[in-house]
Amino acid sequence: MKTIETQVAIIGGGVTGAGTLRDLALRGIPAVLVEKGDLASGTSGRNHGLLHSGSRYAVGDPESARECIAESRVLKVIARHTVEDTGGLFVTLPGDDPGYADRLIRAGRDTGIEIEEIPVSKALRMEPHLNPAITRALLAPDATIDPFRLTMANVLSAVEHGQQALTHVEATSLIREGDRVAGILCRDRKTGERFAIRSRMVVNAAGIWGRRVCQMANLDLAMHPSKGSMLIIDYRVNRVVINRSRPASDGDIIVPGDTVSLLGTTSRTVDYDAIDDLRVDDDEIDVLLKDAENLIPRISRTRALRAYAGVRPLLAASEGKDGREISRGLVLIDHETRDGLAGLVTMAGGKLTTYRLMAEKLADYVAERLGVNRPCETRQAPLPGSEKPVPIRRTSKKFTGVSESVVGSTHYRHGERVHQVLGGEKANFALVCECEMVTAGEVRYAIKTLGARDLIDLRRRTRLGMGPCQGGLCAYRAAGLMEELGAVDADTALTMLAEFLEERYKGVRPVLWGDGMREMEFIYWLYEGLFGLGAGDGSQTETQAPERDVP
């Protein structure tokens, strides 16, 4: 069996694991990360993309609020190419408690968050589609962030500093030597290869799946799986993040992201055994549409593009508590102190916004155990793509033969790495996905530099297939290009294409009505006719749509 020797093995390729890999790299501590799926394929990639200012937690969870505002300020500098500093509004609707806004302002003052009341007329100028019946409006420093680009940028930085990140590699068991963990046994889920990673420390950064990692060592980690469902509509209807000014509840936020808007979120307790098979229920979609309609009238008349769900990695601190009542604070568990098992540490809780802080605390712990005395550098060191702000017009002038909009989209996703993405041959300028303006150069870059191994990986790195057609008119081009570049053979490309379409269908199915249903029928017959991808190979499932009043 092949063995990889390193200092630290990290289990979990979400944003916390990626951030920890980078933090250790900058301290000169060799590490290897393994992720059973793709980077950010779990909870890190299944959220509404809000860079929290902490305002949502200021009233009920001030510690988390302070962490969020501090970290959001850091990320707006070191990860600027993944952030859109939209700002946010907290609005009071008729029937809401008007006093909650006052409590929110006071809590913001206590936690260091700049929350100020503005005239309703100003809020309506900022957000023309907002319900004109709102009675109060607060301005908060919310922003949006792309979790996929953030995770990839952390891994890219780590790899450029000598670390390894292995995707589609599952940790099957821990290597035990008496009362110490000495590494992990792994299996590559693409090739079937089994190998070992021997290390002095193992970091459990698997989020909600961290309980299973602990079970490998016969340890228990009580988790509270709380499912949150979200709905994407096929237009960007708001400019800023819109929050309902009330205690956290279902359907209280609309987040603008890239070319769409996201309606969120629900909170439903699920059995731990169900975390790998999350489904969005009809009643959740109804709630999200109804409550969003209160914030932006007639928003339910726009086309629903897809629905998805993530599970919050919360520690079950108290039986019977709803997921919204459990603190979003981070928890570092030293298993040597708690369980008498050295060499294993678990990070739990936290949020996307606080990932860097979680990674710093993990790296501090590991560095101390390994006798390394180097401080954290991630608070100041910019991520790849965010080295320095350059106006898009100046960047566009360096590329001839390609439109400014294509350069702009690439620059938006990759920041200053746009020159590596589009540089070289003019063939790199060819569009593969018109909806998101993904070029052949970006596909090539994602495969050769960002480690994309299949079409689903490619989607996370480029947004290919995330537009209105959900991959129907670009997936086959991307599959052909991956085969042309030697990333896969022809047979694998066809299988990969079917898997990609099936993955997209799972998110579309809960919202199949009206134009969405008609387009899905078109896409099915297109791929049935061109590639023979029909019901016989598992790429097509039952397509009956739920009954809806919404056209």
Position 411 in a domain = no
pLDDT at residue number 329 = 66
517 and 528 in a common domain:
yes
Residue 48 is assigned to a structural domain of this protein? no
List, edge to edge, every strand of the sheet that includes 194-198.
2-5, 194-198, 180-188, 169-177
Q: What does the mean pLDDT of the chain come to?
A: 91
The reply to whether 307 and 335 lie within a common domain is no
Tell whether the model's pLDDT for residue 548 goes beyond 50.
Answer: no
Task: Report the CATH number at residue 306.
Answer: 3.30.9.10
Rounded to the nearest angstrom, the gap between the alpha carbon of residue 430 and the centroid of all alpha carbons in its chain is 27
**What would the 3-class secondary structure string for 289-344 be?**
HHHHHHHCCCHHHCCEEEEEEEEEEEECCCCCCCHHHCCCCEEEEEHHHHHCCECE
Q: What is the pLDDT of residue 534?
A: 67
Kindly report which listed range (300-309, 355-364, 421-430) carries the lowest average pLDDT score. Answer: 421-430
Report the pLDDT value the prediction gives residue 319, as an integer from 0 to 100: 43
What's the pLDDT at 541? Answer: 41
Percent of the chain with pLDDT over 90: 78
Number of domains in the chain: 3
**Domain ends where: 270, 289, 315?**
315
Over residues 411-432, the mean pLDDT reads 89
Name the domain boundary from 315, 345, 379.
Answer: 315
Residue 389 within a domain:
no
- Say if residue 104 is in the same domain as residue 237: yes
Q: Which of 144-148, 271-275, 547-551 has the highest mean pLDDT?
A: 144-148
Residue 336 has pLDDT above 90, yes or no: yes
Same domain, 338 and 444: no
Whether residue 323 has pLDDT greater than 70: no
Is 545 a domain residue?
no
Judge contact between 359 and 378, C-beta under 8 A: yes
Question: Are residues 125 and 231 located together in one domain of the fold?
Answer: yes
Question: Per-residue pLDDT for 400 more than 80?
Answer: no
For residue 76, being part of any structural domain is answered with: no
Mean pLDDT, residues 354-379:
96
Which stretches within 112-260 are classed as H helix?
120-126, 147-160, 210-216
Query: Is the same domain home to 213 and 258?
Result: no
Q: Which residues contact 30 (CB under 8 A, 6 or more apart)?
A: 6, 7, 8, 24, 162, 163
- Please answer whether residues 374 and 28 qualify as being in contact, where contact means their C-beta atoms are separated by less than 8 angstroms: yes
pLDDT at 546: 39
Q: Which residues contact 95 (CB under 8 A, 6 or more apart)?
A: none
Phi-psi region of 504 (alpha: psi -120 to 50; beta: other; left: phi over 0): alpha
Same domain assignment for residues 128 and 205: no
| 314 — pLDDT class (breaks 50, 70, 90) | confident
Three-state secondary structure call for residue 387 = coil
Q: Do 176 and 235 sit in the same domain of this protein?
A: no
Alpha-carbon gap, residue 147 to 448, rounded angstroms: 21
Kindly state the percentage of the chain with pLDDT values over 70. 93
Taking residues 11-19, what's their average pLDDT?
A: 97
Lowest mean pLDDT among 56-60, 386-390, 443-447, 449-453: 386-390
Residues 242 and 302 in one domain: yes
Packing angle, helices 355-370 and 62-78, rounded to 10: 90
The pLDDT of residue 429: 92
Does residue 157 fall inside a structural domain? yes
- Alpha carbon 355 to chain centroid distance? 12
pLDDT value for 537:
45
Q: Give a yes or no: residue 423 inside a domain.
A: no
**pLDDT tens profile 276-291:** 999 999 999 999 999 9
Residue 317 has pLDDT above 70, yes or no: no
Domain containing 154: what range? 2-43+148-222+328-370
- The per-residue pLDDT for 338 is 95
Distances (CA, A) of 230 to 38, 49, 263, 310: 21, 11, 6, 8
Same domain, 271 and 351: no
Looking at residue 324, its pLDDT comes to: 45
According to the model, what pLDDT value does residue 318 have?
A: 40
Give domain status of residue 397, yes or no: no
Instruction: Give the pLDDT score at 316.
Output: 58
Taking 90 as the threshold, does the pLDDT of residue 540 lie above it?
Answer: no
**Does the pLDDT value for residue 394 go beyond 80?**
no
Straight-line distance from the first to the last Cα atom of the chain, in angstroms, rounded to the nearest whole number: 58
Paired strand residues for 263: 231, 254
* Region 352-361 average pLDDT: 96
Q: Are residues 152 and 130 part of one domain?
A: no
Q: What is the mean pLDDT of residues 17-33?
A: 98
CATH number for 7? 3.50.50.60
Measured distance CA(465)–CA(1) in Å, rounded:
38
One domain for residues 252 and 163: no
* Rounded (5°) CA angle 21-372-350: 40
- Give the closest residue to 350 by CA, choosing from 60, 67, 62, 17: 67
Averaged over 332-339, what is the pLDDT? 94
pLDDT in tens, 105-125: 999 999 999 999 999 999 999
